Structure 1
Amino acid sequence: MAFPLQRGLTPQEIEFLSEMEMVTVIPRQRLEGLELLSGPTEKLLPPQRATLPLWLAILLKRQRRVNIVPPHWLHPECLQVILQFETETKEYTDTFSPPPQLPGQRRAGDDSRRQSAAPLRPKYTLDGQRYYPTPPFLPQNTALTPSEASDLEREIALPYHWLEVGNMLLDAASDDLTEPDQVRRLLKDLREVRMSKMRKRVDALDAAAVAGGGVSLTGVGAMEIGEMRGFVAGVVEGLRKIGASREQARREQLAEEGSIQGYTQDDDDMQF
């Protein structure tokens, strides 16, 4: 007898997908590019930086062929800013900090004369169908260039696969990170704060089920959704059963009131 598959992606599958995130590496030896299903990789020419998929970067790191440059959001200063934003900003005490800005997207209040992001360009499949890339096919985990690092207005935000990428880099390339112990502690604190917010969002499911709407999960990461999927699905199933029992009780009450009214009407006719 086969066991039923879990609904949605499992944490292991989410971590596997996050390995396709692109990261920045500094090669320690010259290597030719590889032909992958997603396309050819860059040639590694020390000391020039290159961009590789996370799984390949970790493999070469373990072989001591490259050093991984951590993304800007994985520095302790940036994580501390995000943690303070999640806990001290009144607007986001019960919600999540905004996700990274997508290419071509503008925030509310942005100056129309300033284009803060490059326009979003479509890509095409082998069949000629047009599509727009989403995480993990966006450069949200690559290191900043010197010009970008000097930009004080550079936004600090957690990418969609922040938890998976952070843990994998801590495990495989902790010596390349700035203060890895502090980074590990900040990631743990962020996870606890955001999971607490996820549990609070469950309280709104009852009202959303009655009103017929939904619950906003803007800014929630992939692993956070995967870990809370079973719990939220159980709550929704319980609310569905409660709603069904309430509806059944209401129908029975209406039927009983209708029968009583009919009986009273028959008695009035008999008196005449």
Structure 2
Amino acid sequence: MAAPSETKELYGIKQNGEMCFSAKELEFLAEDEMIEIIPRFSFQEIGLLSGSIGPFQPMVPVQVPLWLALKLHERQMCKVQLPAWLHHDELVERKREEEAEKENKYLTPIEFHYQEIATILFRRAPDSFAGQEGNSRIQVKDIEELRDSKIHTSLRDLEQYTPAVKIANVSAMEINKIRPFLVQALNRFRTLKEAEDQFGESSQTVIDSQDGGL
């Protein structure tokens, strides 16, 4: 096993000396995402900084921020509806699509905060999964591992000089994981390029001096 100094926590504040978000910070950001609930109460429209939500009527679906859905769920004032992509059958299909694209390392389009939202709902609203929580956890984990494998393979394939790196359809948590590597790698590429440019300028100066002495 690697020494603590060699292996950093995956979701720590620092990875290899680079600043990253913690898992809790990313979950906090994800709680602004909208989700559908079935209210068990009546109330007028509510104005928030992000816009108005409601009105609320019993058994009438309404979209609210995830953080509010969780608060209402804790007070048994609503039922949280799973996002369509988090239903077990959809997760199975998403996993199949990721496996089909494994060879070309293509990441399929996915919700930006899929890991955070899934984790939050597993922890705080498990009853929303209608008895499929365990199976859904496995599917989400499998999807995460498939995508991580593709990302790591893509990063290993970086050429010696890469002024920019483009990996499409990356989620928030995935960006957070690879940020330290990308920052350090691109800094090294820049340093090497600057050294190469300086060497080229020095060589040209020597050649010019020799030509002038002829």
TM-score calculated relative to the size of structure 2? 0.79
List per-residue Cα deviations over 1:164-206 (Å, max 9, x = no partner): 1111111111111141112112212222222222223333364
What does residue 115 of structure 2 align with? 163
What does residue 190 of structure 2 align with? 240
Question: 26-35 or 239-248, which moves further after superposition?
Answer: 26-35
Alignment match of 2:147 (pick from 188, 194, 197): 194
Q: CA deviation at 1:255?
A: 3.2
Amino acid across the alignment from 1:193: L
Q: Does 1:10 align with 2:21?
A: yes
Q: Is the partner of 1:204 in helix, strand or coil? A: coil
What does residue 13 of structure 2 align with? none
Alignment match of 1:87 (pick from 99, 102, 106): 99
What does residue 168 of structure 2 align with? 218
More helix by share: 2
Q: CA deviation at 1:35?
A: 2.6
Counterparts of 1:26 and 1:206 in 2: how far apart (Å)? 54
Q: Is the Cα–Cα contact under 8 Å of residues 95 and 143 in structure 2 kept in the other structure?
A: yes
Q: CA deviation at 1:236?
A: 0.6
Pair member with larger Rg: 1
Amino acid across the alignment from 1:208: T
What does residue 84 of structure 2 align with? 72
What does residue 11 of structure 2 align with? none
Q: Is the partner of 2:139 in helix, strand or coil? A: helix
Question: 6-15 or 227-236, which moves further after superposition?
Answer: 6-15
Q: CA deviation at 1:234?
A: 0.9
What does residue 204 of structure 1 align with? 158
List per-residue Cα deviations over 1:16-48 (Å, max 9, x = no partner): 332111111112333444332223321322222
Residue identity over aligned pairs, in percent, reads 28
Q: Is the Cα–Cα contact under 8 Å of residues 87 and 93 in structure 1 kept in the other structure?
A: no
Q: Is the partner of 1:35 in helix, strand or coil? A: strand
Q: Does 1:176 align with 2:128?
A: yes
Q: Is the Cα–Cα contact under 8 Å of residues 35 and 66 in structure 2 kept in the other structure?
A: yes
Q: CA deviation at 1:70?
A: 0.3
Q: CA deviation at 1:13?
A: 4.4
Structure 2: any 5+ residue segments left out of the alignment? 1-16
TM-score calculated relative to the size of structure 1? 0.63
Counterparts of 1:207 and 1:242 in 2: how far apart (Å)? 8
Amino acid across the alignment from 1:253: S
Structure 1: any 5+ residue segments left out of the alignment? 1-5, 100-157, 266-272
Give me the CA root mean square deviation: 2.5
Q: CA deviation at 1:8?
A: 8.3
Question: 9-18 or 56-65, which moves further after superposition?
Answer: 9-18
Amino acid across the alignment from 2:86: L
Amino acid across the alignment from 1:95: Y
Q: Is the partner of 2:141 in helix, strand or coil? A: helix
Q: Is the partner of 1:232 in helix, strand or coil? A: helix
Amino acid across the alignment from 1:170: F
